Amino acid sequence: MSQTRNVDLRKEVFNKPQYEQVIDTSFSQLGVASISASAEDQISIEEFFGYYNSLFYDIPPTGETNSHEFLVKNSGEYINFDQIAEEILALQQEIAGLREELLAEQIKVVELESGVTVNTGSLGLGENTDTSIISTSISSGGQSAESGTTSNNSVY
């Protein structure tokens, strides 16, 4: 009661150049983009910063993601910002120390040239480090004059 039917099978064989022309070997069916297609979809650095500049005020200032704070933290980690900030602080402290040394030497030059002793105690250049009050006392000939008074031997 079953019917028998003959089916003719044909087999076509292609050599390699014919195969590549007849058969599509790309993965377009799977939804995977090719390398060249994905490269076309990426934005350039110039385009990124163009978008960033146009969206700058729309980006929230703080937040764990998608914020200026997030950008600063991630970029800071990438460039070792903490280490750089520490180096900057150390260099600023060194500059401050060198400025103090220079000022002390300039005061010595003034004292040697004028023969007048300058009291630098309140400038923090000697033992006294109180810099909240800046008053310079000038001694000449056994007399002392505060910097607020007018005298022929005063140095301001």
User: Is 141's pLDDT higher than 60?
Assistant: no
pLDDT of residue 129: 38
Q: Looking at residue 38, what is its pLDDT? A: 66
Q: What is the pLDDT of residues 38-71, one digit of tens each?
A: 667 788 899 999 999 999 999 999 999 999 999 9
What value does the mean pLDDT take over residues 81-102? 91
Chain Cα centroid distance, residue 39 = 29
Enter the tokens of residue 95: 């500059």
Other C-beta atoms within 10 Å of 123: how many?
20
Looking at residue 70, what is its pLDDT? 92
Amino acid in the structure at residue 89: L
| pLDDT value of residue 82 | 79
When pLDDT is cut at 50, 70 and 90, the band that residue 99 belongs to is very high
Q: What is the average pLDDT score of the chain? A: 76
| The model scores a pTM over 0.85 | no
More confident residue, 87 or 32: 87
Contact of 23 with 17, CB cutoff 8 Å: no
Q: How far apart are CA 50 and CA 73, in angstroms?
A: 21
